Amino acid sequence: MELLSENKRAAIWSIALLIVGLLVWELSISAQAVNTGELTEYELLTGAGTAKAGVPPPSEVAVKAWQELSNPFYDAGPNDKGIGIQIGYSIYRVLTGYFLAAIIAIPLGFLIGMSSVAYKALNPFIQVLRPISPLAWMPLALFIIQDSEASAIFVIFICSIWPMLLNTAFGVAGVREDWVNVARTHELGAFKTAFTVVLPAAAPTIVTGMRISIGIAWLVIVAAEMLVGGTGIGYYVWNEWNNLDLTSVIFSILMIGVVGMLLDAAFGLLQRRVAYVE
Amino acid sequence: MANSFLSIEKLTQRYPDGKGGEFTVFENASFGIEKGEFVCILGHSGCGKSTIMNILAGLSEPTQGVVKMDGFAVSGPSLDRGVVFQNYSLLPWLTALKNVTFGVAARFPDWTKQQVEDHSIAFLEKVGLSGDAIHRKPSQLSGGMRQRVSIARAFANEPKLLLLDEPFGALDALTRGTIQEELLKVWSGTDQTVFMITHDIDEAILLADRILLMTNGPLARVAESVEITIPRPRMRTDIVEHPNYYAIRNHLVQFLGKRSAELAGQVSAPDEIHSPETVRIDKTQDDAVEEQPLLQAVKT
């Protein structure tokens, strides 16, 4: 075993676990044999002889995935769009709400981090608003905005603002005084100091907040789209549940996971870029 | 003193003591520094050396008193007063070179990028850093190399006054020795005025033209100004042979060991100005005077 690197051994284990898991899943479903014994007339009338709608085996999910992914962008009417289009709608909403939140949270976080008066003045509001489940805003948003699309974006906005705001404030407040003194002894103005010293010093903390936010936004969009309907991966899951198409439900659950992982990885990359060792 | 290049006039620093009263670190401290002079200040912890340094740098305000440079009162930090901090204060996300160009670009805003870089590289070379090392981040450099970068950044800015706050405090003795000599090399040939805090007597004798001695706090004062009567250029291995070396060193040790405590805590009249008393020890000239009684003592 020592011949293989740690990463290779881990990869072998991952693949082995995947194969075992899929096999157990596949076998446990084909074991649910249909009752083929003698049936009474009553049983035949109530449909006991037909196969139950059960959880599909992985092989069916794989076939479904192949179908969907080989033509992800087809559009055959409001209730029949390709998975790529649905995910595209969700990502569009997440990114719109997320960047609106960033535009407000990062400058406001700077202000709170630099001024303890601003921090103390705004802290009570933040503490009350932050623990509210983003979906609780939905009825109010729908009533005020009167547009389901914009309401979904608002919900993303409100859920992704807090980690970015608090992390920016925390990062900015924690910038070492020595570095600020370096800026002061070099007569840098407020803006120059903010961009050349405070921002790079606080960047790792800020990006951590951004990474937490994008994760939360992706969690929330699925639930929000189940409520507002129309398009998006959340709507797709719920629609396929109403169609009792569990194969599509499982497939879309997996897609949600994959997209979430990719979003997180993108911010992980950004995090590595701004990291520094003291 | 009033005509000195840098004059510190009746500087007083008080802090609230947390019990409703006040705690006076030092009071009416007054001294001057001439252009091109290298002055070290020695004293025990808590005597207010760092406070004086921060006031000179403009990073904090005195309770009373003024600091004048070139005849004008200073307020706030300025590029005319460069600072080397004890903990290097390099920006960890920038390479060594970028840390220097950061300062140079702030000092000379009309220079081209190339000028800024050439100037920075030249100063890094003066402190013995060149090649690959200048493109590394501070975390990839040793403590000694980091402090070299910090010194290069300060000298490259050619400030009117350079403030060094225990720059070698965190370095091991061997590294300290090398960098002290590098500091002397960079300093000599400039008319850079330097004010440096240190805890190390030998370091002060090696580097300084004059050493200011502070009594213990609270109510500390700058009691003496000791001239270092050892000719330059000085090498650490050579100066110990000089007849004045141990005389000066003994004087300093005596002061820090005994008199700094004896002179401490004296409350003064409100208008009393605490100027340091000038002390000049020169064995090369007073040989006859000082050694005669000794010889007699042996004879009798």
Closest CA–CA distance from residue B242 to any residue of chain A (Å): 39
Closest alpha carbon within chain B to A182:
B89
Mean pLDDT of chain B: 86
Cα torsion A137, A139, A141, A143 to 10°: value is -160
In SS3 terms, B258-275 reads as: HHHHHCCCCCCCCCCCEC
> A77-274 has which CATH code?
1.10.3720.10
Interface ipTM: 0.82
Decide which of B97 and B17 is more confident: B97
**Residue B86 — pLDDT band, cuts 50, 70, 90?**
confident
Residue to substitute from B55, B74, B91, B161, interface A, most A β-carbons within 10 A: B91
- Using one digit for the tens of pLDDT, what is the confidence trace for B2-44? 578 999 888 888 888 888 888 888 888 889 999 999 999 998 8
CB contact at 8 A, A173 and A113: yes
Cα torsion A80, A84, A88, A90 to 10°: value is 70
Judging contacts by C-beta atoms under 8 Å, the chain B residues touching residue A276 are 92-93, 137, 139
Answer whether the bond into residue B218 is a cis peptide, omega within 30°. Answer: yes
Burial (CB count within 10 angstroms: exposed 0-12, middle 13-18, buried 19+), residue A158: buried
- Using one digit for the tens of pLDDT, what is the confidence trace for A52-66? 667 888 989 999 999
∠ Cα B216 B221 B223 (to 5°) = 100
Spatial CB neighbours of B115, under 8 Å, sequence gap ≥ 6: B108
Closest alpha carbon within chain B to A189:
B106
Statement: residue B136 has pLDDT above 80: yes
- Cα separation of B31 and B55, whole Å? 14
**Interchain proximity B59–A185, CB inside 8 Å:** yes
**Interchain proximity B91–A201, CB inside 8 Å:** yes
**Interchain proximity A181–B58, CB inside 8 Å:** no
**Residue B299 — pLDDT band, cuts 50, 70, 90?**
very low
Domain positions in chain A are 77-274
pLDDT at B270: 63
- Cα separation of A240 and A228, whole Å? 15
Coil, strand or helix at B75? coil
Judging contacts by C-beta atoms under 8 Å, the chain A residues touching residue B58 are 184-185
Closest CA–CA distance from residue A179 to any residue of chain B (Å): 6
The number of beta carbons lying within 10 Å of the beta carbon of residue A122 is 16
| Residue A259 CB-half CA count within 13 A | 26
Closest alpha carbon within chain B to A202:
B93
Least CB-CB distance to A184: which of B59, B93, B137? Answer: B59
pLDDT at A34: 57
Spatial CB neighbours of A132, under 8 Å, sequence gap ≥ 6: A158
Domain positions in chain B are 6-36+44-73+200-299
- Using one digit for the tens of pLDDT, what is the confidence trace for B212-240? 998 887 888 888 899 998 888 888 888 88
